[in-house]
Structure 1
Amino acid sequence: MAGYYRFPNRAAYIRFFDQEDEFVAQQVWDGRTYPLHRTGSLTFQSSDEAYEIAFMEGKAGVIDKAKILGRIILEKVSYNPTRYIKPTAEQLKPLLGLYQFQKDKNMEISLSIQGGKLALRQQWDNQTILFEAYSPTDFFNEELTFPLTFDIENGAVKKLTCFESDVWLKKEAK
């Protein structure tokens, strides 16, 4: 159960961990902690506010989600969202290229490397946004609170998700 869990907006995180014989939830954005007490095998409640947390097992029987406040599903991530990494050019290479917005085929973005960082250029206004990496598939621009998440299968990008649900599909190179 311990680890970092991402909100649906892909920009905010909660960390669950053991601290001095107590299970604790910590908001990553401001450091506020909530001591938790167990109410079931996979359920907890915050001691002061009575917020409920239910951890959920995925297909492989591994806990990979948490439901908070009875309605918000958080996804467990394998990286630390308080530390950036430097992906290699080889790790970035499959991400580069042109992407088309799933909801509007006239909107395109291109991804390249600029100064060792992933650079997104909006084709409609030529604005370029630089991203730091949490992992080889998870990126963030703090100034704009702009998350990017790549889904990769067999070494190829399946899709790029920006924010909560903006899906971009990679265009085939001509």
Structure 2
Amino acid sequence: MKFMEYSLLYIFITTKTYHMKTPGKLLRTAATGMLLLAASFSFAQQQPGLARFEGVFQKSDNKEAYLQFTVKNGILTGKQLWNGQEYELVRKSDTDFVSKDEEYPVTFIKDGTGEVIKTKIMNRSEWIRVKDYKPRQPATLTAAQLKPLEGRYRFRQDNNLYLSILVRDSAIVLKQSWDGKEVQLVPESELVFFSPTQFFPAAFTKDAGGKITAITCFHKDVWDKVE
């Protein structure tokens, strides 16, 4: 039974009871019941909906990671834009939610005007709302453009760590020497690449002569080309 049906039932029972015991109070009781219904219905209308949480949020310490929140069939859903994984959220209070299966806490934070400006995941990971999100668009490079990127790269901060770059089809594969893990990277431009399945940005560097000298991953980890 819905909220309004409960309220109407309450008025009917209250009015009927007073009608049986004190007929003179019938009009007053009905009026009181209607006021209670109107007040309750007004409160229900004023409750903020889920639409205000919709939008795209960027991780504060990783500019490549984005979350999108949308309302689907009355349920707020979070989506990781780097791999498409989705989470249904269960509301706990006005701005507090938890993921349905994992029970990760998700808290939305408002500014002074009441607008949602960011969210915090698991009480520590902060995501800032963005209004100009544009998804990465892959570019098409020829085999001749990709070939110079191939080679072995050494981590500038640890000479014992190496990466290999291999060309496969119209993309490249980054292979880690220490565990054999491979990450496919697709081109966004001639020197900038990204992973379609995880937030893994990579950019190559050329010297004045056009020779590839290094690759930078995550905007900070520099690997110098050695072969």
Shift of 1:12: 6.1
Distance 2:135 2:145 in 1: 19
Distance in 2 between the 1:8 and 1:149 partners?
18
Distance 1:133 1:8, change over 3 A: farther
Distance 2:191 2:61 in 1: 16
Distance 1:137 1:81, change over 3 A: farther
Alignment pair present for 1:102 and 2:156: yes
The residue identity in structure 1 corresponding to 2:217 is C
Asked if residue 134 in structure 1 is aligned to residue 192 in structure 2, the reply is: no
1:127 CA displacement: 0.9
Name which of 158, 161, 165 aligns with 2:213: 158
C-alpha change, 1:8 and 1:81, in structure 2 (3 Å) is farther
| Matches of 2:213 and 2:206, distance apart in 1 | 5
Match of residue 201, structure 2, among 147, 158, 161:
147
**Aligned equivalents of 2:63 and 2:192: distance in 1?**
9
Larger radius of gyration: 2
The runs of 4+ residues in structure 1 deviating greater than 2 Å are 7-13
Residue by residue, what CA displacement relative to the aligned partner does 1:61-113 show, whole Å, maximum 9, x if unpaired? xxxxxxxxxxxxxxxxxxx8631112111111111100000000100010011
The verdict on how the C-alpha distance between 1:81 and 1:134 changes in structure 2, with shifts beyond 3 A counting, is farther
Structure 1 residue 8: Cα displacement: 8.5
Query: CA separation in 1, counterparts of 2:165 and 2:149?
Result: 7
Which of 8, 11, 19 aligns to 2:64? It is 11
Report what 2:173 is aligned to. Answer: 119
Residue identity matched to 1:88 = T
Rounded to whole Å, the distance in 2 between the matches of 1:97 and 1:10 is 27
Number of residue pairs aligned between Structure 1 and Structure 2: 104
Give 1:169 shift: 0.1
Distance change >3 Å, CA 8–CA 89, structure 1 → 2: farther
After TM superposition, the score normalised by the length of structure 1 is 0.53
- Once the two structures are TM-superposed, the CA of residue 10 in structure 1 deviates from its matched residue by 5.8
Structure 1 gaps of 5+ residues are 1-6, 14-28, 30-47, 50-79
* SS class of match (1:93): helix
**Which structure shows the bigger proportion of residues in helix conformation?**
2
Partners of 2:65 and 2:199 within 8 A in 1? no
In the alignment, structure 1 residue 85 sits paired with structure 2 residue 139: yes
- Larger strand fraction of residues: 1
Counterparts of 1:8 and 1:88, CA distance in 2: 34
Q: Which stretches in structure 2 are left out of the alignment for 5+ residues?
A: 1-59, 67-80, 82-112, 116-133
Instruction: Give the Å deviation of 1:9.
Output: 4.5
Q: TM-score, normalised by structure 2?
A: 0.41
- Tell me the equivalent position of 2:16: none
Q: 8 Å contact 1:107–1:123 — kept in the other structure? A: yes
